[in-house]
Amino acid sequence: MPDARVTNTITGRDAFLRVLSDEGVVKMFGNPGTTELPIMHALSSAPEMGYVLALQEAIVIAMADGYARASGKLVSCNVHVAPGLGNAIGSIYTSFMSGTPMIVTAGQQEQGHGLTEPLLYAPLVPIAQPVVKWATEVNRIEDLPRILRRAAKVATTAPTGPVFISLPGDILNNEAAIDLGAATRVDTAVRPSDDALEHLARRLLTAKNLVIVAGPEIASADAFAEAAALAETLGAPVLHQTVGYGAHFPSEHPAYIGALNRDQKRVRQILSEYDLMFCVGSDVLKMSVWSEVEPLPETTKVAMLGLRDWEMGKNFPAEMALRADVKETLKALVPLLKKLGGDALAAKAKANLTALASRNWSAQRAQRLKALPKPVTGEPLPGEWVMAELTERLPKNAIIVEEGLTTATTLPNYFAYRDRNSFFGNVSGGIGWGIAAAVGVAIAEPKRRVVAVIGDGSAMYSIQALWSAANLKLPMTFLICNNGGYQILKNRLKLFHGNDTPIGMDFVDPPIDATKIAQGFGVAAERVDTAEGFSAALHKSLATSTGPTLIEVMVKKAG
């Protein structure tokens, strides 16, 4: 109950928690400071708001990001004033890129006191503004519910994403008779007009060689079945978008032929086979480093479907661009295609899928397993072998959270995406997200085994997240792939500059021991450097249900 002294009044801090709860928030992730103490005080009488402690603000946001992406729920994050918000910005940027529905708050100095520029003070809204959908500060206690309601509406309306609210101490501690309001949700599950839908259907049917590019909106719309039906109806091959940060299409479907990468020359070569690329809820060939080669051939036209209209025609013109929900549109499009295409389309689709059988993802996986070299005794383990062995031993409903960079490059070749929550990856490229996000995913998915595949460099950005996993006794597995440095930078230094003598990219003097670090956070851990040792450690870890375990596997430097 609120600690209001009069029945028709309420403190700002209690109003804050009441409104969040009414908006469907059941988890608050945080790392408190002095300016957050009013909220911490209110939490003591609001046990229904499950508070998850993380040991640094970037970890707070990444854990909440993983939780929200896996649960589909709006989440609350509470971080400290200016330096804490600064710590969190990189992770908020990642959440912004992934479109995670999240309300980020930070305590602020009392209004008036801030004018004196006390310790830790800075204007918070300008700090957060570039990486959120909306940012504001509460200046009157009467406005607090309205601002929270608006924040929840903005965060959950497609394209979804984080919002930020600065909470001055006097707003939280003051008391007033205020209207708490009610929740608003904007329904964006819409499909195109009948005319637009028929235009799209006829365009897809007239393509000589069509390819479908699958993206994150297939997952966020829960449209795995509809996307599979589209591929089956058209007999079209399906490629995963260039930035593989989620499970966007069932890997074992006969139409799935694998993922595009971020090599412009290679992508251009692949797409040159097709005259029409249908982007279903996907980015359009997002790349990493500059290349003089454009990834889209002039002969490949583009059609797009999804709710992120900013992506439409952003870099490449779209012949058709439909701003609509993927699931609702495909539910209407597939029957229309069957009606317009008739028996001829059915026969063509069947023949196309038969032709894909020798080169689809499943066939490629079988060929790779057959050709996979065995580890050499006395040498670090090959990353590809580790990825293959891992996926062979995982339960079918396992979830992988991946930030392995070089070592995990081949993971999508072996791990099957069977549902929209089977895989989560880093969308922004800013490392340090994975190990913390995996904790959030494990909180959201307690009945499934969560395995975090993390590089040694990435792990050091947020290793403190292990403590939260141990504190919550989450039965999950952390796999730290140790190749002794920033291998991706070494590879690129050599590739781009011909320089094979890297400076500042090795962890050798002294070497990092992730096993001992994990043990210091209360996580059972062991280091392995043989095939037998890895297999035994993995078996033991997957059988452990009383808390988290960590395996540090010594892997080859992948060049």
Which candidate, 214, 259, 285, places its Cα nearest to that of 408?
A: 259
Question: Is residue 181 domain-resident?
Answer: no
Residue 48 has a pLDDT of 86
Question: Is residue 182 domain-resident?
Answer: no
Q: Are residues 326 and 421 in the same domain?
A: no
195: helix, strand or coil: helix
- Point out the domain boundary residue: 335, 360, 385: 360
DSSP string, 244-302: --B--S-TTSTTEEEE--S-HHHHHHHHTT-SEEEEES--SS--SS--SS-SS-TT-EE
Do 24 and 74 touch, CB atoms closer than 8 A? Answer: yes
Separation in Å, CA 69 to CA 228, 468, 504? 22, 18, 34
Sequence letter at residue 113:
H
DSSP string, 116-180: G--TT---HHHHHGGGSSEEEE--SGGGHHHHHHHHHHHHHSSSP-EEEEEEEHHHHH-EE----
Per-position b or e across 101-136, b if 16+ CB within 10 A of its CB: bbbbbbbbbbeeebeeeeebbeebbebbeebbbbbb
301: number of CA atoms within 13 Å, CB side? 13
CATH code for the domain in which residue 453 is found: 3.40.50.970
Question: Is residue 265 domain-resident?
Answer: yes
- Compute the distance between CA of residue 292 and CA of residue 305 in angstroms, rounded to an integer: 28
Question: Is residue 323 domain-resident?
Answer: yes
Burial bucket for residue 321 (CB in 10 Å: 0-12, 13-18, 19+)? middle
Q: Are residues 411 and 535 in the same domain?
A: yes
Question: Is residue 367 domain-resident?
Answer: no
Question: Is residue 19 domain-resident?
Answer: yes
Q: Are residues 202 and 161 in the same domain?
A: no
The number of beta carbons lying within 10 Å of the beta carbon of residue 203 is 16
- Compute the distance between CA of residue 265 and CA of residue 332 in angstroms, rounded to an integer: 36
Task: Give me the residue label for tokens 């011909």.
Answer: 498
- Point out the domain boundary residue: 360, 381, 407: 360
Per-position b or e across 44-67, b if 16+ CB within 10 A of its CB: eebeebebbbbbbbbbbbbbbbbb
Sequence letter at residue 218:
I
Q: Are residues 74 and 159 in the same domain?
A: yes
Q: Are residues 247 and 394 in the same domain?
A: no
The partner residues of 163 in beta bridges, in order of sequence, read: 103, 134
Sequence letter at residue 348:
K
- Compute the distance between CA of residue 531 and CA of residue 523 in angstroms, rounded to an integer: 23
Q: Are residues 401 and 544 in the same domain?
A: yes
Q: What are phi and psi of 442, to 5 degrees?
A: -65, -35
Token pair in block for residue 244: 């593989």
Residue 559 has a pLDDT of 61
Residue 474 has a pLDDT of 98
Q: 0.85 exceeded by the pTM?
A: yes
In the chain, the number of structural domains is 3
Residue 5 has a pLDDT of 46
Q: Are residues 154 and 24 in the same domain?
A: yes
Do 72 and 26 touch, CB atoms closer than 8 A? Answer: no
Question: Is residue 188 domain-resident?
Answer: no
Helix ranges (H only) for 29-73 are: 37-43, 57-71
Q: Are residues 460 and 317 in the same domain?
A: no
Sequence letter at residue 281:
G
CATH code for the domain in which residue 355 is found: 3.40.50.1220
Q: Are residues 444 and 329 in the same domain?
A: no
pLDDT tens digits in sequence order for the chain, 559 residues long: 445 444 579 999 999 999 999 999 999 999 999 999 999 999 998 888 999 999 999 999 999 999 999 999 999 999 999 999 999 999 999 999 999 999 999 999 999 898 899 899 999 999 999 999 999 999 999 999 999 999 999 999 999 999 999 999 999 999 999 999 999 999 999 999 999 999 999 999 999 999 999 999 999 999 999 999 999 999 999 999 999 899 999 999 999 999 999 999 999 999 999 999 999 999 999 999 999 999 999 999 999 999 999 999 999 999 999 999 999 999 999 999 999 999 999 999 999 999 999 999 999 999 999 999 989 999 999 999 999 999 999 999 999 999 998 999 999 999 999 999 999 999 998 999 999 999 999 999 999 999 999 999 999 999 999 999 999 999 999 999 999 898 888 888 888 899 999 999 999 889 999 999 999 999 999 999 999 999 999 999 999 999 999 999 999 987 6
Sequence letter at residue 111:
Q
The partner residues of 485 in beta bridges, in order of sequence, read: 506
How distant is the alpha carbon of residue 535 from its chain centre? Answer: 28
DSSP string, 341-363: HHHHHHHHHHHHHHHHTTTSHHH
Find the domain containing 426 and state its range. Answer: 372-554
Which candidate, 419, 453, 416, places its Cα nearest to that of 438?
A: 453
Q: Are residues 200 and 239 in the same domain?
A: yes
Do 74 and 109 touch, CB atoms closer than 8 A? Answer: no
The number of beta carbons lying within 10 Å of the beta carbon of residue 284 is 21
Q: Are residues 256 and 402 in the same domain?
A: no
Sequence letter at residue 434:
G
Q: Are residues 52 and 154 in the same domain?
A: yes
532: helix, strand or coil: helix
186: helix, strand or coil: coil
